[in-house]
Every structure is written in C-alpha cells, then in structure tokens.
Amino acid sequence: MSNPHHFPGRQALCDLIKPLATRPGFVDTLLSDVQVLSWAEYVASSPQIYEPSLMVLAQGRKLARLGERTLDYGAGQYLVQALSVPFMCETFASEAEPLYGVAVGIDPLVLSEMVQAMDPLPAGLVRAQTPESMSSAPLDEPMQDAVLRLLQCLQRPEDARVMGAARVREVYFAALNGPQAGVLRALVEQQGHFARIGASLAYLRDHYADPLSIDELAGRANMSASAFHEHFKRNTLLSPIQYLKRLRLLKAQQMLIGEGLGVAQVAHRVGYQSSSQFSREYKRQFSRSPGDEVPYRGIAV
C-alpha cells in the first residue's frame, strides 16, 4: 500500500476502537474471542506470546522477531498468528499517535467448519507441512469491511449478542480468502503435522502448570516422540521443554504485572516447585527479578 499509515478507513477503525479501549493493553469486549488493544508509548523488544489470532492494526507499528525472521507490520496490515509461538516484539506508539488494534481469536472448530464448506484451494497454495506460524498480510477491502462491521456490533450489547458470531465468521472468511489462506487451512487440516502441533500447543496453554512429559504430548498428537519433537521445533523454533519454560515465565509475568501476586505464589501457580529456581530463570529470561515487576502498569502489547 502506498501510504499504509493513512490507509482508507483508518480513522473509522480508530474511532470504533477508542471507546472499547478502556485501559492500556489488551481489553476484553462483549465477544469472548475479540479483544481491542491500545498503547501510547514505545516498548523495547521484549518476549511476548499471543493466542492464535488475527491481529489487525489500525494505527501504530510493531516489529515481531521469530528466530531469524522479522515481521514489520503496522497500520493497514494484519498479523496471522496461527500457532501460539513465543516471539520478541517491539512496539512503536506515542501519546500523539497511539497504537490501536483488534485481535480476533481463532476458533479451530469454527474455522474447520467454514473450510469444509468452502471450495478447495489450488494445490500450489496449500502449505500443510511447514507453513509460517506467524505472517502478515495487507488489510484489503474485504478484511477492512469485515473488521469495521465487527467493531460496529461491539458498540451495543444487543448487536453483539445477536450478530457477534456472524461478524467474527465474516472476519475469518475474509482471511480465508486472503494471501494467508493456506496457513489457516493447514491449521485445521486434521491429518497434517501443523494442525497436530497446533492442538498440542492449545493443550499446553491449558495445562502449562502440570507436570508434562514428551511421551504424553506426543501420544496426544498421535506421533512418535522423535517425530513430535522434530515437528514441534520446526514450527515453534523451540523444543517442547523450552516452549513450556518460556510459556510458564510469560504467564508468570502476566500474573505479576496484571494481578499483583507475590513471587512465591506465582512460582507455584505456573508449575515451579522451587521459588529460587523460578526467580533465576525469570531473571535470565527478562533481565530483571520477578520482585522488580510493578503491578499494574499494563501488560505490554
């Protein structure tokens, strides 16, 4: 796009997000799968993890680093986060030009139902084995229109109750007809390795505090331990054990900042038996001790 920071429809999207963004960071809306986000200051590159989602930016800019890949996306683009993969995120925003966006969570069941009803993609567009788990796409007219209608229905409770699910499906449909359709379809291709790893990550998000073994996770994915380890690392750039540790520490940070819990309490809640081990690993990950976190300054976006 020639001037992505001032794309047509930018102001309309911002005007609909502002009343919903009641505090900095991610804010829940009347629909459980939809959050709005706002931020008004620069955030240096820091560890982050998103749920599988479509992240649309109306204003502001982000740099997302996943291994050797760097994604520069901003106003007039959306991020397809197919897998819940930790990455380094740098946010460019200011009081004069805050970041505004909307995150639409990906429900695999709804997505799968829609894909089954759609025409198959040409063979060359299906990347089922090693699709990028995080990729950006331009906010084309169909996606922009779908997001506008979704935000409009979030302004009134009755609209959200009656039309919300349909508006979310419109956003999915626009993405399934966009340049990242192959990644989204691979996510619900039940026999594909990508979908199996996606299901494993969903299980880890719900059970990250439990003691887990590679054999158990591989069995749930209906894969051998060696194949599971290989495909897991291919799609997340981390081993399962490294991923679990990173996930626990990111969840801990959210609890320390967002809920103001004590260090020992957080360590136990995210699955650590030893508070001292938790503190060491936390400092190694974030370059500061867990006791140095200040509640509540807002969860970084």
Q: Is the pLDDT of residue 6 over 80?
A: no
Instruction: Please tell me whether residues 52 and 169 are part of one structural domain.
Output: yes
Question: Please, what's the largest Cα pairwise distance for the chain?
Answer: 55
DSSP 8-state class, residue 256: I
Picking from 188, 66, 217, the residue whose alpha carbon sits closest to that of residue 128 is 188
Q: Flag whether 151 is in a domain.
A: yes
The reply to whether 12 and 139 lie within a common domain is: yes
297 inside domain:
no
**Contact criterion met (CB below 8 Å) for 172 and 80:** no
Residues 21-49 have pLDDT tens digits of 999 989 999 999 999 999 999 988 888 88
CATH code for the domain of 181: 2.60.120
| Model confidence pLDDT, tens digit, residues 139-193 | 999 999 999 999 999 999 999 999 999 999 999 999 999 988 888 888 887 667 8
Residue 4 is predicted with a pLDDT of 47
In a domain, 125, yes or no: yes
Confidence band for 241, pLDDT divided at 50, 70 and 90? very high
Specify which residues 66 forms β-bridges with. 69
Q: What is the DSSP string of 283-295?
A: HHHHSS-GGG--T
Rounded Cα distance between 5 and 19, Å, is 21
Please indicate, yes or no, whether residues 226 and 84 belong to a single structural domain of this protein: no
Statement to judge: residues 123 and 161 lie in one domain? yes
* Mean pLDDT within 220-246: 91
Q: Supply the pTM of this predicted model.
A: 0.83
CATH number of the domain residue 275 falls in? 1.10.10
Q: What is the number of other CB atoms lying within 10 angstroms of the CB of residue 69?
A: 13
In contact, 44 and 96? CB cutoff 8 Å: no
Overall number of domains in the chain: 3
| Of 187, 222, 252, the domain-final residue | 187
| 107 shares a domain with 34 | yes
Per residue in 106-152, pLDDT tens?
998 999 999 999 988 766 555 544 456 788 888 999 999 999 999 99
Token digits for 167? Answer: 């508006």
| Domain ranges, residue 231 | 193-238
State the average pLDDT over residues 196-218.
Answer: 91
